[in-house]
Chain A
Amino acid sequence: SAVISQKPSRDICQRGTSLTIQCQVDSQVTMMFWYRQQPGQSLTLIATANQGSEATYESGFVIDKFPISRPNLTFSTLTVSNMSPEDSSIYLCSGAGAPLGTQYFGPGTRLLVL
């Protein structure tokens, strides 16, 4: 199994600012994903973080708004740019040892934008 940590665990931010969330995995994983869980909603995939190359974004999510980095097999960052109150959500990092392997989740980052 993989243990995934995220920083920060929560934050309160002002409109128009940006926040970078870090995700660290205790072992090498092939796949890393970023999800969003808005209040009362299910988890929605933002993008797949690819090592050393641009992330693969889902429909409705763009790189300018959610830039993602993944410099190695155990670390990734998600930036929420030019935030608005609609970005208030829980952001979750997930990793899997293989494309068909079990997905493990981080504890989430709870973001509130005022």
Chain B
Amino acid sequence: AQRVTQPEKLLSVFKGAPVELKCNYSYSGSPELFWYVQYSRQRLQLLLRHISRESIKGFTADLNKGETSFHLKKPFAQEEDSAMYYCALRAYGGSQGNLIFGKGTKLSVKP
């Protein structure tokens, strides 16, 4: 079964500290993975996708097929990074193109 697991509901760090939001997935095929972010009172928006191999707002994520992980990392957290972060897997088949989401991790960056 296709599944995305984010083990941490809440992650709290101090400004300037490194941050890693964990994401593991279960999928029998070749996965396409995403990180979405939702800032307070804003809509869900795409942060990055693994096929782009880009850094957005200082965040990076590397797909590790051996560990079935797609952890989100940032070397120096900023207060404005505080938000809900969702890892998502694109599924195929009956609902082509839809996303399967993890439960999300709330990142709190303290001053």
Contacts and interface: CB of A to CB of B under 8 A. Distances in A.
A and B part of one assembly: yes
Interface of A: 31, 33, 41-45, 47-48, 56, 58, 92, 94, 96, 98-108
14 contacts: A33-B98, A42-B102, A43-B44, A45-B95, A45-B100, A48-B97, A58-B95, A92-B44, A99-B96, A99-B97, A100-B97, A102-B46, A103-B99, A107-B43
How many chain B residues sit at the interface, stated as a range, is 20 to 34
B22 interface: no
B101 interface: yes
A106 B43 contact: yes
B45 interface: yes
B107 to A, nearest CB: 16
Contacts of A102: 46, 49
A54 B98 CA distance: 17
B66 to A, nearest CB: 24
A48 B44 CA distance: 18
A25 B102 CA distance: 25
Secondary structure call for the B interface: loop
A106 B45 CA distance: 9
B52 to A, nearest CB: 10
B103 A41 contact: yes
Nearest to B43: A107
B46 A108 contact: no
Nearest to B103: A42
Nearest to A33: B98
Contacts of B49: 102
Contacts of A43: 44, 86, 99, 101
Contacts of B101: 42-44
Contacts of A96: 97
Contacts of B42: 107
B98 A48 contact: yes
B46 A103 contact: yes
Contacts of B102: 42
Interface in B77-111: 86, 90, 94-104
